[in-house]
Amino acid sequence: MALGDPIGPLQDVEPSIVTFKELCSKNDWFPVFYQVLPTHIDAYKLLDFDALPIGHEAIIDLTCFTLDGSQNKTLRNSYNKMIRNGYHYDVIQPPYSARMLRELSYISNDWLFAHRATEMRFSLGWFNESYLNTCPILLVRDREGFIEAFANLVAEFQAGEIAVDLMRYRQHSESGLMDFLFVSLFQWGHEQGYKSFNLGLSALSGVGEHSNDPIMERALNFIYQNVNRIYNFRGLHSFKEKFHPLWSPRYLIYPGATNLPTVSGALFQASLGGGILSLMRRA
């Protein structure tokens, strides 16, 4: 299972897919590509893969992001309230002290407990001290300087793009904290010369919305519309939508419909770390 498309010169993409497919065949594996861009869909299909839309990634254009205008009134008011209440941010760089990592670990565990969650894997980061020591971290502090939230920042393979990965905050945090955190992330990214900010995948959004869409896509849309106890698909999408991102489709590339149940099980196992039992414990 590969995360994303091959990265490199365009002329090398198809040969790379072929080589990966041959490697998997020699080991009796199913080759799968997860969260690929629409750019190379035709190349995958020519090589006998199927493509299933799995959602859209939210991309913020940092060159024109603003809090001005009537459509941003709620977000602007939320951000300004946090400023008035003494909230501020700073970005720290590795290496981090053991004391700092302990404090961030406490916040992370508090967030996991509040959300009845376990760490996700594969396409998302999880709390790991070695990993965090490779990237900058934005801290949101209250009036007294205590850390209320943090997010680590990862440079994307796309030129001029940066992304948020691990994002955690304390229980019972003040309303508006997450709005403040994300606006701060955008401001910092723009100041550092980045052109865009990737907010990650909004899973299943925009999939199977029309009656003539394939039955599998319509089944995913049913999950998106109705399954909220385990994962709040629509709530996450609505939160990202308030920042007016550009929505870019993402796909699962897999070797034939008959293998899709096996592929889906492998993807769940890779993403959940502890397997399907981890997901069931959240219900």
Contacts of 60 (CB under 8 A, 6+ apart): 186, 196, 197, 198, 199, 243, 245, 246
CB burial string 52-89: b at 16+ within 10 A, e below: bbbbbbbbbebeebebeeeebeebbebbeebeeeebeb
Tokens representing 162? 């940066």
Tokens representing 1? 């299972």
Q: What is the pLDDT of residue 94?
A: 97
64-194 is a CATH 3.40.50.1100 domain: no
Domain boundaries, the chain: 2-56+202-280, 64-194
Distance CA 157, CA 5 (A): 11
- Tell me the pLDDT tens digit for each residue of 93-147: 999 999 999 999 999 999 998 887 778 778 888 899 999 999 999 999 999 999 9
Tens-level pLDDT at each residue, the chain (283 residues)? 999 999 889 999 999 999 999 999 999 999 999 999 999 999 999 999 999 998 999 999 999 999 999 999 999 999 999 999 999 999 999 999 999 999 999 999 999 988 877 787 788 888 999 999 999 999 999 999 999 999 999 987 777 999 999 999 998 889 999 999 999 999 999 999 999 999 999 877 777 777 887 777 777 667 657 765 556 677 788 889 999 999 999 999 999 888 888 888 888 788 776 544 444 444 4
Q: What is the pLDDT of residue 278?
A: 46
